[in-house]
Amino acid sequence: MELNARRLALDALERVAKGAYADVALHQVLQQRSLKEGDRALITELVYGTIRQQRTLDTLVQGFCQQLPPLKVQLVLRLGLYQLRYLDRVPPPCCRGHQR
């Protein structure tokens, strides 16, 4: 299964949520695979941007949720909201090989 940039960014954010330093987690994720420069840049922006805007993103999530969702759901929501709110030139997700 091919992992896209968003999935790798989520992996890095999960590591940070479990106590890793952001730069270390990002480096580990980027070293796992041979990535195009554009993918590396997108992953870096998603990870650092989501962390940088975490308080604002969490406030937005709280507006949609009556109770705090599980950690992985929180991370996915933060990541998606970051893209929608702060990025204007994000490529669509790759759906090759995925079935609905």
pLDDT tens string 43-54:
999 999 999 999
DSSP-derived secondary structure for 3-43: --HHHHHHHHHHHHHTT--HHHHHHHHHHHS---HHHHHHH
Tell me which of 35 and 20 has the higher pLDDT: 20
pLDDT tens string 53-78:
999 999 999 988 888 899 999 999 99
The predicted structure's pLDDT at residue 33: 85
Mean pLDDT, all residues of the chain: 88
pLDDT above 60 (res 2):
no
pTM given for the model = 0.85
Among residues 17, 52, 45, the alpha carbon closest in space to that of 30 is found at 45
SS3 percent helix, strand, coil of the chain, rounded to 5, is 65, 0, 35
